[in-house]
């Protein structure tokens, strides 16, 4: 059975993760070396299921937008 999640809080958490990675200089490394896959794997390890399509699309858009 799929776990319920709060979509808004999840997206906020990924925004904060992106800001933190950017501040540490890791954002570009993730974007170049399969960051979408890393975020997908992180989600799966937390929720023990694949992320929904809208979350997967958000992973890509966060990486494409780059640091703010």
Question: Is the pLDDT higher at 44 or at 1?
Answer: 44
Note the pLDDT of residue 62: 66
Residue range 22-36, pLDDT digits in tens: 776 665 656 566 667
**pLDDT category of residue 51 using cuts at 50, 70 and 90:** confident
CA-wise closest residue to 31 among 53, 10, 62: 62
Neighbouring CB atoms inside 10 A of 11's CB total: 14
Q: What is the pTM of this model?
A: 0.44
Question: Is the pLDDT higher at 9 or at 38?
Answer: 9
Token pair recorded at residue 36: 């979408």
CA angle, 19 as apex, 9 and 25 as ends, to 5°? Answer: 150
């Amino acid at each position: 059975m799929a776990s319920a999640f709060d979509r808004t809080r999840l997206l906020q958490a990924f925004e904060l993760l992106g800001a933190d990675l950017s501040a540490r200089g890791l954002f570009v490394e993730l974007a170049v070396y399969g960051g979408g896959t890393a975020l997908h794997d992180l989600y799966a390890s937390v929720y023990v299921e694949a992320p929904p399509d809208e979350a997967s699309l958000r992973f890509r858009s966060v990486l494409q937008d780059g640091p703010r």
